[in-house]
Amino acid sequence: MLDKHQGARLANLWDDGKAAGMTEPEKLLYRSNLLGSDKRITNYGGGNTSAKVMEKDPLTGEMVEVLWVKGSGGDVGTIKMDGFSTLYMDKLRALKGIYRGVEFEDEMVGYLPHCTFNLNPRAASIDTPLHAYVPKPHVDHMHPDAIIAIAASKNSRELTSKIFGDEIGWLPWKRPGYELGLWLEKFCQENPDARGVVLESHGLFTWGDTAKEAYETTIEIINRAIAWFETENTGPAFGGRSKPVLAAADRAAIAKKLMPVIRGLVSAGESKVGHFDDSQAVLDFVTSTSLEPLAALGTSCPDHFLRTKIRPLVVDFDPAQPDVGNTLAGLPEAIATYRADYAAYYERCKRADSPAMRDPNAVVYLVPGVGMITFAKDKATARISAEFYVNAINVMRGASGVSTYVGLPEQEAFDIEYWLLEEAKLQRMPKPKSLAGRIALVTGGAGGIGKATANRLMQEGACVVLADIDETALEAAQTELSTRYGKDFVRSVNMNVTSEAAVESGFGDALLAFGGLDILVSNAGLATSAAVEDTTLALWNKNMDILATGYFLVSREAFRIFRKQKAGGNVVFVASKNGLAASPGASAYCTAKAAEIHLARCLALEGASAQIRVNVVNPDAVLRGSKIWTGEWKEQRAAAYKMDVDELEAHYRERSMLKLSVFPEDIAEAIYFLASDMSAKSTGNIVNVDAGNAQSFTR
């Protein structure tokens, strides 16, 4: 997406008509959302905006100057009014009187809450002094790729003055914080006519007397940088191509082979979710002569490497002579080496009060000729990390084309990564949900039990692939679940579980979407009813195909992935009371369900040594939302009991020992239990969820 825009100018989207009736805080919100809507202007969560506004003090009733500035942890593109913190400017200025110097700058963060205006609960960010002390009413701080490319060039000061003259100043690298705020103030006092400043290895500050002027200055300055690169950076990207690009289908095939193996190797501490990106910007980089040397330098903008780790891991793969077997065999050592290097970096740079070393695994994996794989604690983080590395690639492309690209000095990078303020932010994060980082595939995922199961697993933080043959229902289920839990967490695949090819390709799509698999819920089903003498061979085979063969095929594929990941695995079969208890007039169905249950036991035995658990949930008479309970089967059952179809639910309820109806959510709860670590020591089990039925008591 980014590369499509490469070279194109940013449009000025300011609409006077829209802005006319807005208050200053509303104009700030408007400008922020406009700026953040384009990733070339700033990366996700990166940068911040502010306005100094006169407001009525709620205590004294007097008009006071208030700083409205993006609060901690937000994103300017999606921020809403409550994402801004508000602080008294006079109190912020008074902080200068208690500042003890740069070595104590972190303690200033603790004073910011004392400056809060109007009890605003939004925490002020570390960047607040940067906005407070720029003596201008409206200030933008952005991380544009084109500006960071200048800021990360060896001669960035010289380039800045060459491109912008006196209009835009330059400040050497300084970690964002109180001291940098004072630097910015001093710069503005000494350069009253400057419209902004480039921060080395970091980004851009611009300002204006009105919200519109600030916005237009930001756009204009970034456009000038883009235009300059267009004329200056005319050589081949990254010094030219040294490796071929594989065809799209081959790239996907390689990624599907690598992802579960990498995932298994890096998920020991916490389960991780993967993301694959083979966009043009990535391909240009991973086929270039500069791949290894540039990747080794690490990223520059602090925002970039906080998300991507100090540097990526370049996977040993030769697209000219693809031998993925060799690559896979080398991965354990390559990943162990990365971890050892990371630990050495931690040891070299740590300070007396540094937090303990965090996960030493790489986030970004670059595969020559194939693309980029990222792994993080959830899908959104993996996707955003990939977006950040694309930003970093754009920066390296620009900087190395006109100068020499320089990463942030190692100690500076470490001090940001292990900043106590950053650690405090991490400590404040809510505890991960019980299935965070887990990946599940649910067959029959668009139906009653399947969708309820997906919903339950997603509630616990799992990523889910819905597999079904009903396209329309599948689309509706995916829309419903992604609206509830976010697009990152759900995918769908059209899968006929009786087709070997469809099962293999569906699981392949799941691998490409999330990088692995932890949980298979085999739930696709049907139900038929006929006296044995009326049971056609076709009807018999249909039951066997879906309920026995179908369960075999999806389990076999899941086992193959589990074995590659070497991280255990979890299979839950949705069987039926009828797999244990004989029922007249449904011999094909009952026999196939019995085969299914016995298959689960065999697989439990076979998978145990690899920590693969296989369990069964036996529902009975789940009528609501079920597709097998529509049409014929319902009528056949009603006819068999000589009653109206509307009376069936009551009939089943009265038939049960507990006199309760069984709903899809009840089955989903049992599946969640078996799929989670709560049942870590159970395998080969059957849980009946049937409101009590003596016939299906296991023995």
Closer to Zn ion by CB, 206 or 498: give it: 206
**Window contacting Zn ion (CB under 5 A); options: 196-204, 289-297, 356-364, 583-591:** 196-204
Burial class (CB in 10 A: 0-12, 13-18, 19+), 289: middle
Tell me the H-state helices in 566-643: 587-607, 632-640
CB of 222 closer than 8 Å to CB of 197:
no
CA quadruple 286, 289, 290, 293: dihedral, nearest 10: 100
Closer to Zn ion by CB, 38 or 480: give it: 38
Burial class (CB in 10 A: 0-12, 13-18, 19+), 344: exposed
Closer to Zn ion by CB, 39 or 593: give it: 39
Q: How far is the CB of 66 from Zn ion (least distance, A)?
A: 23
Fill in the DSSP letter of residue 608.
Answer: G
Closer to Zn ion by CB, 43 or 683: give it: 43
- 76 sits in the region (left: phi over 0; alpha: psi -120 to 50; else beta) called alpha
CB of 399 closer than 8 Å to CB of 304:
no
Site string for Zn ion, 149-188 (x = CB under 5 A): ----------------------------------------
CB of 562 closer than 8 Å to CB of 608:
no
Q: How far is the CB of 184 from Zn ion (least distance, A)?
A: 12
Which residue of the chain is nearest Zn ion when measured via CB? 203
**Window contacting Zn ion (CB under 5 A); options: 201-209, 249-257, 459-467, 502-510:** 201-209
- First-to-last C-alpha distance (Å) of the chain: 59
Q: How far is the CB of 302 from Zn ion (least distance, A)?
A: 7
**Window contacting Zn ion (CB under 5 A); options: 129-137, 195-203, 312-320, 350-358:** 195-203
Give me the count of residues in the chain.
699
Closer to Zn ion by CB, 3 or 185: give it: 185
Near Zn ion in 271-290, by CB under 5 A: none
**Window contacting Zn ion (CB under 5 A); options: 198-206, 427-435, 542-550, 582-590:** 198-206
How far, in Å, CA of 291 to CA of 553, rounded?
41
Near Zn ion in 38-97, by CB under 5 A: none
Burial class (CB in 10 A: 0-12, 13-18, 19+), 420: middle
Q: How far is the CB of 141 from Zn ion (least distance, A)?
A: 6
What is the size of the binding site for Zn ion (CB under 5 A)? 1
Mark whether 589 is an active-site residue: yes
Q: How far is the CB of 175 from Zn ion (least distance, A)?
A: 10
Closer to Zn ion by CB, 126 or 622: give it: 126
User: Between the CA of residue 17 and those of 13, 80, 479, what are the distances in Å?
Assistant: 12, 20, 35
Closer to Zn ion by CB, 188 or 440: give it: 188
String of DSSP letters for 528-562 = --B-GGG--HHHHHHHIIIIIIHHHHHHHHHHHHH
Tokens, residue 352: 């007396």
**Window contacting Zn ion (CB under 5 A); options: 200-208, 530-538, 585-593, 648-656:** 200-208
| Beta bridge pairs of residue 198 | 170, 204
- Angle between helical axes of 448-459 and 664-675 (0-180°, round to 10): 50
Q: How far is the CB of 73 from Zn ion (least distance, A)?
A: 14
How far, in Å, CA of 332 to CA of 361, rounded?
12
**Window contacting Zn ion (CB under 5 A); options: 65-73, 202-210, 225-233, 548-556:** 202-210
Half-sphere exposure of 361 (CA within 13 A, CB side): 22
Q: How far is the CB of 188 from Zn ion (least distance, A)?
A: 18
Tokens, residue 1: 């997406």
Helix (H, G, I), strand (E, B) or coil at 172: coil
**Window contacting Zn ion (CB under 5 A); options: 199-207, 306-314, 539-547, 562-570:** 199-207
Q: How far is the CB of 468 from Zn ion (least distance, A)?
A: 45
Fill in the DSSP letter of residue 355.
Answer: P
Closer to Zn ion by CB, 203 or 407: give it: 203
Q: How far is the CB of 518 from Zn ion (least distance, A)?
A: 36
String of DSSP letters for 436-457 = TT-EEEEETTTSHHHHHHHHHH
Closer to Zn ion by CB, 198 or 363: give it: 198
Helix (H, G, I), strand (E, B) or coil at 499: coil
Closer to Zn ion by CB, 372 or 416: give it: 416
Q: How far is the CB of 224 from Zn ion (least distance, A)?
A: 20
Q: Which member of 418, 589, 652, 672 is catalytic? A: 589
Q: What type of residue sits at position 431?
A: K
Tokens, residue 38: 């384009």
Site string for Zn ion, 203-232 (x = CB under 5 A): x-----------------------------
Strands 364-367 and 313-314: parallel
Residues identified as active-site: 589
Binding footprint of Zn ion on the chain (CB under 5 A): 203
